[in-house]
C-alpha cells in the first residue's frame, strides 16, 4: 500500500510575497509551496516518485535501484519512501571520498535501510548506459534514473498544477535533470508559459526534456512553450557564492520562505532579477514552483556566511 506515505501529503499553499526590496518598485512574486507537501519526501520528489513507487508495488518488484550525489534530495526521499513502503532501496552514489560516504544525507538513507554503494566519479558517468545499469541494478529492482526523472515521473509532477494555478501567466521552475520541467509542461493550460532556470551548465538539457516528453504516455497537449532564463547558474551545479547566500538570507528574513541552495536559490534570484529588469511582469502573474529538497544545506555547512547560518538555525 502506497497510501500511508501519501496520506500525509498536504495541499501546497500558494504564497504571495512582496519582492519590492529587490525589484526596485512595487512587485510581487507568488510561490507554490510544494516544499511543504511532506515533511521528508518533499516538493518535486514526492511528485516524481509517486507513480514509479506505485508501479514497483503493483508489479511486485522487491525494491528500487537509483543514483545520486552524497547530498541528493532524490536519494534521501527515495530511501525514506522505500522504508515506509517496505521496498528495498539500493543507491549508487557519485564519488568514493570519505566525506561523501559519511554525509548526513546518506547516513539517514542507511538508517532507513538503504544499501549505499559509492562508485568513482568516472564509473558514475556510465549511469545512463544500459550495461552499467544492468550491472548495478539489484535483481528484481525497478531502475529509477538519477533525480527520479523518468517518463513515469511526469504525470505526478503535472499534478502539482491545478485549478488554483491556472490564473498565472508564467510558471517557473529550476532545472537539474529535466523531469520537473517536463512534468510541469504537461500540466500547463494553453495560455501559460513555462520559465526554466537551469541550476547546472548543461547544453543537453533542452534535448533531454524533449526526449522525456516524447516518451510521455499522457501527452494531453503539445509541449507548452518554454522560455529558458540562462546566466543564473553561478558557476555551475552546487555553487553558492556569497552574493547568492546574502540574497537567500535576506529573502528568508523578509518572507520566511527558505530556498534551497542548489535549485530554488538560483530560480528565485533569476525571477527577481528579470522582474527588476522589466522582462517579467511585477504584478504577481509569475508563479514560482518551490520544489523543496533542503538536503543541499547539509552539504554546505562549512561554506556558509554567518547570516545564512543564522537563518538555518532559526526554528521553522
Ligand X SMILES: Cc1ncc(COP(=O)(O)O)c(C=O)c1O
Other Cβ atoms less than 10 A from the Cβ of 77: the count is 26
d(CA 71, CA 26): 37
Nearer to ligand X, 56 or 78 (CB): 78
Among 44, 65, 137, 192, which residue sits at the site for ligand X (rule: CB under 6 A)? 44
CB of 138 to ligand X, least distance (A): 22
> Residues near 203 by Cβ (< 8 Å), separated by ≥ 6?
none
CB of 175 to ligand X, least distance (A): 5
Answer yes or no: are the C-beta atoms of 104 and 98 closer than 8 Å. Answer: no
d(CA 258, CA 283): 22
CB of 265 to ligand X, least distance (A): 10
Q: In what order do the strands lie in the sheet with 170-175?
A: 14-18, 28-33, 283-290, 170-175, 193-198, 226-228
H or E element, residue 28: strand 28-33
Among 174, 186, 197, 308, which residue sits at the site for ligand X (rule: CB under 6 A)? 174
Size of the site for ligand X (CB under 6 A): 19
Name the segment binding ligand X (CB under 6 A); options: 3-11, 52-60, 171-179, 216-224: 171-179
Q: Give the footprint of ligand X on residues 77-116 (CB under 6 A).
A: none
Among 37, 65, 155, 291, which residue sits at the site for ligand X (rule: CB under 6 A)? 291
Q: Does 32 bind ligand X (CB under 6 A)?
A: no
Nearer to ligand X, 23 or 212 (CB): 212
Nearer to ligand X, 282 or 291 (CB): 291
Name the segment binding ligand X (CB under 6 A); options: 24-32, 81-89, 219-227, 287-295: 287-295
User: Which residue, chain included where needed, has cell 500525509?
Assistant: 8
Please, what is the Cα angle at 20 between 36 and 262, to 5 degrees?
A: 45
CB of 300 to ligand X, least distance (A): 14
H or E element, residue 296: none
Among 52, 69, 147, 156, which residue sits at the site for ligand X (rule: CB under 6 A)? 147
d(CA 177, CA 149): 6
DSSP class of 283: E
Render 193-209 in DSSP notation, one character per residue.
Answer: EEEEEESS--TTHHHHH
Among 216, 260, 274, 275, which residue sits at the site for ligand X (rule: CB under 6 A)? 260
H or E element, residue 184: helix 179-187
CB of 46 to ligand X, least distance (A): 11
CB of 157 to ligand X, least distance (A): 8
Q: Does 34 bind ligand X (CB under 6 A)?
A: no
Q: Does 73 bind ligand X (CB under 6 A)?
A: yes
d(CA 268, CA 289): 9
Nearer to ligand X, 12 or 23 (CB): 12
Q: Give the footprint of ligand X on residues 176-215 (CB under 6 A).
A: 176-181
Residues that bind ligand X (CB under 6 A): 43-44, 73-74, 147, 149, 174-181, 260, 263, 291-293
Amino acid at each position: 500500500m502506497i497510501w500511508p506515505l501519501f496520506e500525509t501529503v498536504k495541499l501546497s499553499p500558494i504564497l504571495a510575497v512582496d519582492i519590492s526590496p529587490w525589484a526596485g518598485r512595487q512587485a510581487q512574486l507568488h510561490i507554490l509551496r510544494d516544499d511543504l507537501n511532506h515533511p521528508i519526501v518533499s516538493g518535486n520528489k514526492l511528485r516524481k516518485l509517486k507513480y514509479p513507487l506505485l508501479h514497483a508495488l503493483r508489479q511486485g518488484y522487491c525494491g528500487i535501484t537509483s543514483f545520486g550525489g552524497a547530498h541528493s534530495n532524490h536519494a534521501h526521499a527515495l530511501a525514506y519512501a522505500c522504508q515506509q513502503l517496505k521496498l528495498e532501496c539500493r543507491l549508487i552514489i557519485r564519488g568514493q571520498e570519505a566525506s561523501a560516504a559519511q554525509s548526513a544525507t546518506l547516513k539517514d538513507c542507511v538508517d532507513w535501510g538503504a544499501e549505499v554503494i559509492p562508485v568513482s566519479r568516472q564509473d558514475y558517468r556510465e549511469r545512463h548506459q544500459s550495461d552499467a545499469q544492468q550491472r548495478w541494478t539489484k535483481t528484481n529492482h525497478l531502475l529509477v534514473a538519477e533525480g527520479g526523472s523518468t517518463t513515469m515521473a511526469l504525470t505526478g509532477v503535472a499534478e502539482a498544477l491545478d485549478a488554483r494555478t491556472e490564473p498565472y501567466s508564467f510558471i517557473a521552475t529550476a532545472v537539474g535533470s529535466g523531469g520537473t520541467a517536463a512534468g510541469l509542461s504537461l500540466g500547463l493550460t494553453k495560455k501559460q508559459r513555462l520559465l526554466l532556470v537551469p541550476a547546472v551548465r548543461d547544453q543537453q538539457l533542452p534535448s533531454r526534456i524533449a526526449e522525456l516528453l516524447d516518451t510521455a504516455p499522457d501527452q494531453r497537449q503539445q509541449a507548452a512553450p518554454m522560455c529558458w532564463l540562462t546566466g543564473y547558474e553561478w558557476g555551475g551545479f552546487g555553487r553558492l557564492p556569497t552574493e547568492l547566500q546574502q540574497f537567500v538570507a535576506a529573502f528568508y528574513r523578509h518572507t520566511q520562505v527558505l530556498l534551497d541552495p542548489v535549485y530554488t536559490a538560483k530560480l528565485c534570484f533569476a525571477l527577481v532579477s528579470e522582474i527588476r529588469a522589466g522582462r517579467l511582469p511585477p504584478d504577481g502573474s509569475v508563479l514560482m514552483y518551490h520544489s523543496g529538497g533542503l538536503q543541499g544545506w547539509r552539504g554546505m555547512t562549512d561554506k556558509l556566511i554567518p547570516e545564512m547560518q543564522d537563518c538555518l538555525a532559526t526554528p521553522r
